[in-house]
Chains A and B, each alone.
Chain A
Amino acid sequence: GAVVSQHPSRVICKSGTSVKIECRSLDFQATTMFWYRQFPKQSLMLMATSNEGSKATYEQGVEKDKFLINHASLTLSTLTVTSAHPEDSSFYICSASLYRNNEQFFGPGTRLTVL
């Protein structure tokens, strides 16, 4: 149980385009989902916390208009990187929990490369 998937696993796009990454909880309803960013050989940095049906809470320094997060259902959250640039290239990982303060279950990650 507690499986979280991400799609796509890998995406390459041109600079200036937008990319959407999906995070799904497959066998449970996730009231809270978290989005992390990980640079090579570095730790995970929390970007934002999303609660189903409400606006996401962004961490300090994360551009809300750049990284659009939607948590429209209890099993799906999406991260859209708008007008992507090479510096947005990174590994994006989502996690999901049943409640805000419950254990997080992590997705396999999405490798974004912006040319």
Chain B
Amino acid sequence: AQSVTQLGSHVSVSEGALVLLRCNYSSSVPPYLFWYVQYPNQGLQLLLKYTTGATLVKGINGFEAEFKKSETSFHLTKPSAHMSDAAEYFCAVSKLGGGKLIFGQGTELSVKP
């Protein structure tokens, strides 16, 4: 079985500060890992994904995440927050090869001026 835990339902940072959103997963098989962003009343947009290969993954809008198998983590970071980054972020896992997605609970990111 697979599961995802996002630590912190709400994270608040100042504009220009580091963004760190935490995600830990549980999977009995090699996982595919994803980060999605959702703006109010909209669908999900893929930020980045890890499938195989390089463990540091770069995504859109300056975000990146590192797959750490030993820690079963896939934390999302961005060096400098922008006001437009304020949104809901979801970490998700699927089995190797893709398919059904299991989502974490979501983390709401607020950015203060």
Contacts and interface: CB of A to CB of B under 8 A. Distances in A.
Contacts of A97: 98
A101 B42 contact: no
B45 A43 contact: no
User: On chain B, which size bracket covers the interface?
Assistant: 20 to 34
Interface in A11-49: 34, 41-46, 49
Contact of B100 (A41, A46, A107, A109): A46
Interface string B54-87: 0000000000000000000000000000000000
Interface residues of A, number: 24
Nearest to B104: A43
A109 B41 contact: yes
A39 to B, nearest CB: 11
Contacts of B42: 108-109
Interface in B15-66: 36, 41-46, 49
Given A41-B106, A45-B103, A97-B98, 13 more contacts: A4-B43, A6-B43, A41-B108, A42-B106, A43-B90, A43-B103, A49-B100, A91-B41, A101-B95, A101-B98, A108-B42, A108-B43, A109-B41
5 contacts: A34-B101, A43-B104, A100-B99, A101-B99, A109-B43
